[in-house]
Structure 1
Amino acid sequence: MKDDSHPIICCLVFFFFFFRFLGETTRADNIGEKKSVYIVYTGAATSSTMGSSRETHIQLLASVLQRREHAEKRFVHAYSRGFSGCAVWLTKAEAHLLSKRHDVVSVFVDPIYQLHTTRSWDFLQYDLETFSNPRLDSASLSDQPDTIIGILDTGIWPESDSFNDKGMGPIPSRWKGVCMEGHDFQASKCNRKLIGARYYNASDNDDDSESKKPNDEDQTARDIVGHGTHTASTAAGISVPGASYYGLAEGTAKGGSPGSRIAVYRVCMSSGCRGSAILAAFDDAISDGVDVLSLSLGAAAYSKPDFSTDPIAIGSFHAVEKGITVICSAGNDGPTSSTVVNAAPWILTVAATTIDRDFESDIVLGGNIVVKGEGINFSNLKSSPTHQLIHGKSAKSSVGSNDDASKCFPSALNGDKINGKIVLCDHSDDSYSKKEIRNAVKELGGIGLIFIDNLERSVASPSGDFPMTVVSSKEAADILSYINSTKTPTATILPTVTVNKFKPAPVVAYFSSRGPSSQTENNLLKPDVAAPGVNILAAWIQTNKTEEVPAGKKPTLYNLISGTSMSCPHVSGIAATIKSMNPSWSPSAIKSAIMTTATQTNNEKLPMMTDSGSKATPYDYGAGEVSPTGALQPGLVYEATTNDYLQFLCNYGYSLSTIKLITAVQSGFRCSDNSSTDLISELNYPTIAISQPTSKGSKSVTRTVRNVGADDETTYTVSVISTDGVNVQVKPEKLEFTKAMTTLSYQVVFSTTASSPTNNDLFGSLTWSNGKYGVRTPFVVSATS
């Protein structure tokens, strides 16, 4: 009998192996599965990974992808010089498998972060000529080394006068970076001022973008946004006399450390800043030899990534570990509380304040009643109040509501009623931006705009030739009273004038993100300090955009911008100057010098306020407004080592096995047996934050300070300022330093009183003084545990 089963079995065997092979290929390539860019962070760069990181990580990926050639195609970035890791294309399942490996710290989707976007140095009373380039200005500082500030941002406009290298000496020999050739950017664009430039290719997270090629504008360190140019010149631009914004804010534009060198790392495009690029820049900057890193960017307040999945926290940890000071903006999500970002303790986090300059654009009402407004415009209206004035609600369209028309929502306005008139608008929510409303009113024939906005009153909005100004509700009351008192109200909006020595200043800007940080359970105070961040004049890019350009003028080469993005490079410049004078100081010592010498009063010699008129607290400004000259002579400094930060991670909740992956400094380190979030307060930080003791209990923290003052033998005595509800005792009350005893510790004991409010945070400070230096440490006793 003929056996017909043999060919059938052969076919079954063939298809079995065929589909098995197809399955393996599908698993290897994950055909049909969505892939995104993931960051795989594997911790410290070790001798076994440095120089062969790509090969090491290809082997790591191959363990999940099955085939080596597929791993090679998935690479976006490899990190090996400052730390270890890579950015690669993965499916969600592949990422999950990698995250389970014992040699991987974290695996997370490549995040997109956003930018946190003259006279300011004069306002800070900083003698830049004394603390500029030591080779140029001060023979007494001639032995001090140059400092190098790395700027992670949108790139740079190298032709700006702010980056001229005239008179600068040779580039420091320790510099190991490069000036990358790119689109419209030759290596010759770098000089002895701008000594390095790098860019990082953008990579969309769309499933089909793995094979996409970046466009020309991605392939360059040239700034096409303006933000990076502005921050770089604020931190380290040379003095440029006669700078202005079309004649406004005229004066000398200058950076905080004009003698420092600049290295630019373009990590941001107009669409945002990829975490994978940020990590690549950290990796390069650590190896290149920068002294200070300045990042005016960060995550949104609502995202709050964990420290092990935040590219800025990861990169900055390894930078600080290598002796690089990292300064970051606090974010622009204020005035809501608990919105501060970049809150890792190894980062110096900066809030934003105003300076003593106002851009006044007044309204003149019929009868020559003058109401002060704020705005940047070059109004061509008649100076006499002959133009009709109308409230938005009186120009309601047939489909609009009274409320929407009052706010001048474009869909709610009737153009026939607006044409030829100045329009008064409430701006009490952010459904439409000022720019969107301005454009809509302009298209409908309106000839001017007055916004009522309490929050944004102190931040001048540019509007070019179009007359636009902002008033507070208090000022608006006079305008509304006038409108209601006459049948034909008239007005005009005057062009902007610069008002210097404006009071009160500084004021905490409404947009500046606030503490406390929810990441550290109220046991670490953030932000750290505040610095000028409102209407800051600094270098800008050449552009063909003419929307804000006054008639007959060329686009400005210096621009007025606001944000914690602008406050951050102010502190970066100060940190670079401190480093140049104290090259052996650690990042924590530099941070301490800036924080303990900060001020809390304004130019009326009264406590600093917020934009809303309330008294500012450490949740608003940290230790206070930076004092550049004071920070050069702090007297005492608080220092934290890598092991201190590792103990912080223990208290935060990381396991010892994870911590040992993060850092190569492992010798004998162990987490404390009683590690807990409450012990975060024990980190040797220049500020103190604790949760409120129980009604009959107390809490204590210990701090250690090092004498860096001029006198080896000196005695510091403590004074305490506290609020009702908390008793503060410092032990000992005197610190006696000698040549042999340069470092001393003290304990602070907090206890609540019978009158202590259980639902209020309590603020105060302690100051150590020897008659020459005052070393101030603010504290907060949080009502919530």
Structure 2
Amino acid sequence: MSQTTMACVLLFSFIFLLSFFSHFFQETKAIPFQTTPINATKIGQKSLETYIVHVSLPADPYSSKLEDLESWYYSFLPVNPTTGLNDASRMVYSYRKVVSGFAARLSAEEVKEMEEKKGFLSARPEALLALQTTHSPDFLGLHKKVGGWSDANQGKGVIIGVIDTGITPDHPSFSDEDMPPPPPEWKGRCEYGNPPCNNKLIGLRSFIRDRPGLPFDEVGHGTHTASTAAGNFVANANVYDNANGTAVGMAPHAHLAIYSACSRHGCRSADVLAAIDAAVLEGVHVLSLSLGFDFPISLFEDEIAIGAFGAIRNRVFVSCSAGNYGPLYQSLRNGAPWILTVGASTTDRDVRATAVLGNNQEFDGQSFFQPKDFQTTLLPLVYPGMNGDQFAATCEKGSLDNIDVKAKIVLCDGFGVETGETVRDAGGAAMILMNQQSSGYTTSAEVHVLPATQVSFADGQAIKAYINSTSTPKATIQFKGTIIGVKDAPAVAAFSSRGPNHASPGILKPDIIGPGVNILAAWSESVEDKTTTKSNFNVISGTSMACPHLSGIAALIKNAHPRWSPAAIKSAIMTTANFTNVTSSPIIDERRVPADIFMIGAGQVNASRALDPGLVYDIQPNDYIPYLCGLGYSDQNVRTIVGKPVTCSTVSSIPEAQLNYPSFAIQLPQNTTQTYSRIVTNVGIAVSSYHVEIEEIPGVEVSVQPEVLNFTELDQQMTYQITFRRTTTSSNKSFFVQGAITWISEHRVRSAIAVLLAADTSYDKEFIALEQSEQVTNTV
């Protein structure tokens, strides 16, 4: 080596060393988004908060080693004035697998200085994310030794990573009876002493910074979602002796790896990203996240979307909840096309409690608390808000202090179990809880603290009318227990978030709906007596509950088709979905009118059919780059998401609808024609012929070429073109219309289609105006 070369190396090394060492549930009660810094502290006069920083990797050999990667990250940190080196104490997380970057405690001024450093991409303060079954497997067509639950499947050999509030490890749902050891490639671990792990629960880690090393569930949410995805068989599961049966997850023989990143206060985005990073690094196959931001944001600002892209780049399937902000349109979260976005629906099971009035009218409601000794004789019925007192009408704490409700049945406009506590404490004998107008006919079977029933808004109005009609209103509640066979199931839950997809309007979301109302699953304590006996179950509702259903079903598909990409698994779920209910009528919403495409996406998941879809629409990670460039994102924005250099000016950008997605969402102004292509892969029968069936879309002419696809071998790919031509004028009252195309052979491969009729993408006011209206043309 020459002296000049050596000098250069030494100089570079000196500079290098000098610089290198110098983020609930969406539960139906959403946790507010924190617009102020989380746990901000001060050093001197500088206010510090945790920032997630995305950087480019250096183009040299040392970036391949963990210690050198961390050194690169440290080089972006401020210099400690005492040591003259980068302040390593500021580092919170060094991300290794799904993103290039780190989380650190920084001031706004320090971030501003960091922006000047070579390799810097972006930095944002971490956000506080919100947390978003004895019968649902049967309802979805999963039965022992049949179809998806054949002896060879049940998710064997598949690892589901659940990022949530932790787990109750000694619950029988997480027994490893009949479970094989984890796959040899598993690299995870149990962090807690005296490991509670076994062949079912194979990983247990905590990423809650103020509660390190304690991944046990103090909330119940994580235990519930984990058991819904992959809980083992537990006989005689029930709540208050209702919904009795065998509790089991969708993939009962899949392994579980638990990453505790959330508390009852929510989930820090830096923690969630660290959990995703660890899960992918350790070898999970499916990731389940029942959480999300509290408002829609761009994909390059969304740490869940960014982390999920890193996951699918490593062939890990990601399922996320759609959010609990329905029935508003454009309320959907987790809209990235590489994520399976799951909305919530009902099952055909009620736990019925019927309000019977003095005029013999009956109104069916629900309650999981079903007392056997409640008297059937009529009791006085009172509505505290009868004189216009809105505070009293809600039966909130303190609202009944000056109202005589003793030994009476009280009609309340309130919300949830807390309302019943107020009635009980005021001496009320029972409660009829009526829905808010936005909830329509979606009722929950709550674990109430007194005899109660929750009825629809319309029924509540009828009960108020009865009270107004007589000077001596009376009522009772008849408790009828568990009812199977509700005729309008599945129906879209009122709280389930809807599209259009704010982050990417040309991608139809939600992708799918699944059971999310009154879901019975494992819990961290007894809801009956608050003890911590092992066999505890609870029933709750939310898109949080729908998401793990799909995570478990994805595990079944992964077991049956281990070589399939995440996009292929997603396609199988979407193109085989049901778009009608148990009576073969259209799926309805909370108003009992046909649900539209921005409520159900492809429809209700059909677990058995998804295992054998016939054709799939596949997408590889690099295929998303032209799509992201087509969104108008900067090179830096795209690089933040995909984790490698991108120059959009050299990329053949595509419109959103050109992405090889299993559904369509297009904007079609007047007098326009648009053509897109799709590639389908034959995964069904080697020699097969598919012909296309086009469902009529009002005001839109659809044509497909070719009309027949002839396959001669498995894994063969064929391309078709689909053309949309607008035939209506602006006098059409709908803002969107819908339909589908289906490729038919021995299989039926259906792609849902939404056509936005707006002239541009500013639909916010129009879709908000659609709330609780019936202006949407529904042809599904």
TM-score, normalized by length of structure 2?
0.86
Aligned position for 1:751: 725
Aligned position for 1:562: 541
Q: 1:106 to 1:594 in 2, by over 3 A?
A: same
- 1:657 offset after TM fit, Å? 5.1
Residues 1:91 and 2:107 aligned together? yes
- Output one character per residue of 1:715-765: Cα deviation in whole Å (capped at 9) or x when no partner: 111010022200001011111112398101111110011457275201010
Look up the equivalent residue of 1:390 and give its one-letter code: V
Residues 1:704 and 2:646 aligned together? no
Residues 1:443 and 2:410 aligned together? no
Aligned position for 1:418: 405
Aligned position for 1:603: 582
3-state SS of the aligned residue for 2:163?
strand
- Output one character per residue of 1:16-35: Cα deviation in whole Å (capped at 9) or x when no partner: xxxxxxxxx9xxx9511211
- 1:662 offset after TM fit, Å? 4.8
Aligned position for 2:332: 340
Q: 1:740 to 1:670 in 2, by over 3 A?
A: farther
Verify the 8 A CA contact 2:416 2:446 in the aligned structure 1. no
- Output one character per residue of 1:608-635: Cα deviation in whole Å (capped at 9) or x when no partner: 0001112112200110000000000000
Aligned position for 2:12: none
Q: C-alpha separation between the residues in 2 aligned to 1:121 and 1:462?
A: 21
- 1:362 offset after TM fit, Å? 1.4
RMSD value, Cα: 2.7
Alignment of 1:99-138 (within 5 A): 99-116=115-132, 118-130=134-146, 137-138=151-152
Aligned position for 2:523: 540
Q: 1:69 to 1:63 in 2, by over 3 A?
A: closer
- 1:133 offset after TM fit, Å? 7.9
Verify the 8 A CA contact 1:381 1:493 in the aligned structure 2. no
Verify the 8 A CA contact 1:368 1:385 in the aligned structure 2. no
Match of 2:662 among 673, 676, 686: 686
Look up the equivalent residue of 1:542 and give its one-letter code: E
- 1:36 offset after TM fit, Å? 0.6
3-state SS of the aligned residue for 2:613?
coil
- 1:287 offset after TM fit, Å? 1.1
Residues 1:51 and 2:51 aligned together? no
Q: C-alpha separation between the residues in 2 aligned to 1:519 and 1:661?
A: 16
Aligned position for 2:451: 467
Aligned position for 1:615: 594
Q: C-alpha separation between the residues in 2 aligned to 1:320 and 1:767?
A: 27
Look up the equivalent residue of 1:35 and give its one-letter code: L
Residues 1:38 and 2:41 aligned together? no
Q: Which moved more, 1:700-709 or 1:124-133?
A: 124-133
3-state SS of the aligned residue for 2:297?
coil
Verify the 8 A CA contact 2:381 2:475 in the aligned structure 1. yes
Verify the 8 A CA contact 2:98 2:309 in the aligned structure 1. no
Verify the 8 A CA contact 2:687 2:711 in the aligned structure 1. yes
Residues 1:726 and 2:739 aligned together? no
Q: C-alpha separation between the residues in 2 aligned to 1:467 and 1:554?
A: 25
Q: Which moved more, 1:331-340 or 1:457-466?
A: 457-466
Aligned position for 1:180: 191
Look up the equivalent residue of 1:479 and give its one-letter code: I
Q: C-alpha separation between the residues in 1 aligned to 2:208 and 2:214?
A: 9
Verify the 8 A CA contact 1:242 1:252 in the aligned structure 2. yes
Look up the equivalent residue of 1:54 and give its one-letter code: E
Residues 1:167 and 2:178 aligned together? yes
Q: Which moved more, 1:630-639 or 1:468-477?
A: 468-477
- 1:685 offset after TM fit, Å? 0.2
3-state SS of the aligned residue for 1:286?
helix
3-state SS of the aligned residue for 1:105?
strand
Alignment of 1:159-238 (within 5 A): 159-181=170-192, 186-202=193-209, 214-215=210-211, 218-238=212-232
Q: 1:176 to 1:684 in 2, by over 3 A?
A: same
Verify the 8 A CA contact 1:59 1:68 in the aligned structure 2. no
Q: C-alpha separation between the residues in 1 aligned to 2:255 and 2:528?
A: 32
Look up the equivalent residue of 1:445 and give its one-letter code: G
**Structure 2 gaps, min length 5:** 1-21, 23-41, 761-780
- 1:671 offset after TM fit, Å? 5.1
Q: C-alpha separation between the residues in 1 aligned to 2:149 and 2:702?
A: 44
Q: 1:381 to 1:95 in 2, by over 3 A?
A: farther
Alignment of 1:223-622 (within 5 A): 223-300=217-294, 302=295, 304-366=296-358, 369-379=361-371, 382-394=374-386, 401-410=388-397, 412-413=399-400, 415-427=402-414, 433-453=415-435, 454=437, 455=439, 457-476=441-460, 478-495=462-479, 497-520=481-504, 522-542=505-525, 557-622=536-601
- Output one character per residue of 1:472-503: Cα deviation in whole Å (capped at 9) or x when no partner: 24433553454344433222223461111111
- 1:603 offset after TM fit, Å? 0.9
Verify the 8 A CA contact 2:670 2:728 in the aligned structure 1. no
- Output one character per residue of 1:322-368: Cα deviation in whole Å (capped at 9) or x when no partner: 10000000000001000111001110100000000012111233365
Q: 1:664 to 1:154 in 2, by over 3 A?
A: closer
Verify the 8 A CA contact 1:465 1:548 in the aligned structure 2. no
Look up the equivalent residue of 2:50 and give its one-letter code: V
3-state SS of the aligned residue for 2:120?
coil
Verify the 8 A CA contact 1:693 1:699 in the aligned structure 2. no
Q: C-alpha separation between the residues in 1 aligned to 2:148 and 2:492?
A: 28
Q: C-alpha separation between the residues in 2 aligned to 1:253 and 1:447?
A: 33
Q: C-alpha separation between the residues in 2 aligned to 1:717 and 1:654?
A: 38
Aligned position for 1:738: 712
Q: C-alpha separation between the residues in 2 aligned to 1:260 and 1:412?
A: 49
Q: 1:45 to 1:176 in 2, by over 3 A?
A: farther
Q: C-alpha separation between the residues in 2 aligned to 1:361 and 1:162?
A: 29
3-state SS of the aligned residue for 2:572?
helix
- 1:160 offset after TM fit, Å? 1.0
Q: 1:662 to 1:372 in 2, by over 3 A?
A: closer
- 1:305 offset after TM fit, Å? 2.7
Q: C-alpha separation between the residues in 1 aligned to 2:631 and 2:622?
A: 14
Q: C-alpha separation between the residues in 2 aligned to 1:652 and 1:610?
A: 31
Q: C-alpha separation between the residues in 2 aligned to 1:392 and 1:380?
A: 27
Verify the 8 A CA contact 1:359 1:499 in the aligned structure 2. yes
- Output one character per residue of 1:196-226: Cα deviation in whole Å (capped at 9) or x when no partner: 1110132xxxxxxxxxxx35xx531111111
Look up the equivalent residue of 1:536 and give its one-letter code: I
Verify the 8 A CA contact 1:377 1:466 in the aligned structure 2. yes
- Output one character per residue of 1:562-588: Cα deviation in whole Å (capped at 9) or x when no partner: 100110011111111111111110000
- 1:554 offset after TM fit, Å? 7.3
- 1:166 offset after TM fit, Å? 1.6
- 1:312 offset after TM fit, Å? 0.6
- Output one character per residue of 1:68-109: Cα deviation in whole Å (capped at 9) or x when no partner: 556211111111233321111111111223244441222000
Residues 1:656 and 2:635 aligned together? yes
- 1:247 offset after TM fit, Å? 0.7
Q: Which moved more, 1:62-71 or 1:613-622?
A: 62-71
Q: 1:237 to 1:408 in 2, by over 3 A?
A: closer
Look up the equivalent residue of 2:431 and give its one-letter code: L
3-state SS of the aligned residue for 1:129?
coil
Q: C-alpha separation between the residues in 2 aligned to 1:241 and 1:641?
A: 42
- 1:314 offset after TM fit, Å? 1.0
Alignment of 1:615-634 (within 5 A): 615-634=594-613
- 1:447 offset after TM fit, Å? 2.0
- 1:41 offset after TM fit, Å? 1.7
